């Protein structure tokens, strides 16, 4: 590959601070007079991956595109650098986001039904503020409650390409209860 294109792709990934799509990269290259096909850009990325082999950096593909990351083996010192400034996520909030991610789109009521406890406005707001969830519609039910779904940013933040990469939702332990239930029905 043309070294200039490879380097420009590297520069873009480094300067972006967010994931970039191949098509986005193509557009940016074009505005600089560099013509490259999507497959060429993918080759550039592969070449850069090779280049980064011996460094602390790596390129990862997440839901919103390709981004430059620090290899996880080198994150510990950075954690000390940032002094654990990232807010912790409570158990309750984690339950809420996992219900949204596996059952989306869901209403607040759906989450409450499963968790058996009321879901505070605060926790929904904090997920919205994190850009982990978004309102994707309103349920055709009394009060027209908002339907929440996870965002690409949520997948990005968990280093995932798509929601299907989440570990499978554990199955219910089906046991003799099945029989009881079928009797009831």
Partner 1 sequence: MQNTTQTQLEFPMVMGQPYETLPEDLFIPPNALELCLETFSGPMDLLLYLIKKENINILELDVSNITDQYIEYIDLMDALQFELAAEYLVMAATLAEIKSRMMLPRDKHDEEEEDPKSALIKRLQEYQRYKSASEKMALMPRVDRDFYTATAALPEIKIEKKEISITKEELASIFNEIKSRPDLKLSHQIDFEELSTQERIQIILNILSRRNVISFSKTLRKSEGRHGVVVTFLASLELAKDGHVELIQNKTEEMFLKSLRGA
Residue 21 in the binding site for partner 1 (CB under 8 A): no
Q: What angle do CA 111, 109, 148 make, to 5 degrees?
A: 65
CA distances, 96 to each of 25, 58, 140 (Å):
35, 31, 22
Q: Which of 23, 46, 118, 162 binds partner 1 (CB under 8 A)?
A: 118
CB of 16 to partner 1, least distance (A): 6
Residue 163 in the binding site for partner 1 (CB under 8 A): no
Residue 136 in the binding site for partner 1 (CB under 8 A): no
CB of 95 to partner 1, least distance (A): 4
CA 125/CA 17 separation, integer angstroms: 25
CB-based burial label for 50 (10 Å; 0-12, 13-18, 19+):
exposed
CB of 123 to partner 1, least distance (A): 10
CA 59/CA 45 separation, integer angstroms: 8
Residue whose token pair is 């309750």? 92
CB of 5 to partner 1, least distance (A): 19
Segment contacting partner 1 by CB under 8 A, of 21-29, 31-39, 141-149, 158-166 = 158-166
* Footprint on residues 41-100 left by partner 1 (CB under 8 A): 57, 67-70, 72, 75, 78-79, 82, 86, 89-92, 94-95, 97-99
Residue 108 in the binding site for partner 1 (CB under 8 A): no
CB of 37 to partner 1, least distance (A): 26
The answer to whether residues 156 and 19 touch, using CB atoms and an 8 Å cutoff, is yes
The nearer residue to partner 1, 102 or 146, going by C-beta atoms, is: 102
The answer to whether residues 74 and 38 touch, using CB atoms and an 8 Å cutoff, is no
**Nearest to 9, CA basis, from 51, 49, 44:** 44
Segment contacting partner 1 by CB under 8 A, of 29-37, 38-46, 135-143, 163-171 = 163-171
**Could you give phi then psi for residue 141, rounded to 5 degrees?**
-145, 165
Q: CB neighbours (10 Å) of residue 17? A: 9
Residue 124 in the binding site for partner 1 (CB under 8 A): no
Tell me which residues touch partner 1 (CB under 8 A): 14-18, 57, 67-70, 72, 75, 78-79, 82, 86, 89-92, 94-95, 97-99, 101-102, 114-118, 156-159, 166-167, 169-173, 175-177, 180-181, 183-184
């Amino acid at each position: 590959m043309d070294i200039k294109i490879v380097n420009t792709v590297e520069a873009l990934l480094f300067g972006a601070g967010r994931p970039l799509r191949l098509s986005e990269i193509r557009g940016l290259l074009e505005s600089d007079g560099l013509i490259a096909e999507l497959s060429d850009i993918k080759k550039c990325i592969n070449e850069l991956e090779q280049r980064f082999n011996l460094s602390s950096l790596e390129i990862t593909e997440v839901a919103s595109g390709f981004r430059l990351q620090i290899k996880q083996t080198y994150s510990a010192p950075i954690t000390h650098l940032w002094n654990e400034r990232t807010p912790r996520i409570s158990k309750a909030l984690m339950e809420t986001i996992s219900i949204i991610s596996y059952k989306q789109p869901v209403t607040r009521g759906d989450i409450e039904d499963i968790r058996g406890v009321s879901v505070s406005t605060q926790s929904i707001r904090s997920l919205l503020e994190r850009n982990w969830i978004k309102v994707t519609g309103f349920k055709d039910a009394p009060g027209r409650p908002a339907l929440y779904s996870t965002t690409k940013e949520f997948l990005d933040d968990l280093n995932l390409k798509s929601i299907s990469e989440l570990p499978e939702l554990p199955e219910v332990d089906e046991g003799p209860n099945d029989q009881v239930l079928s009797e009831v029905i």
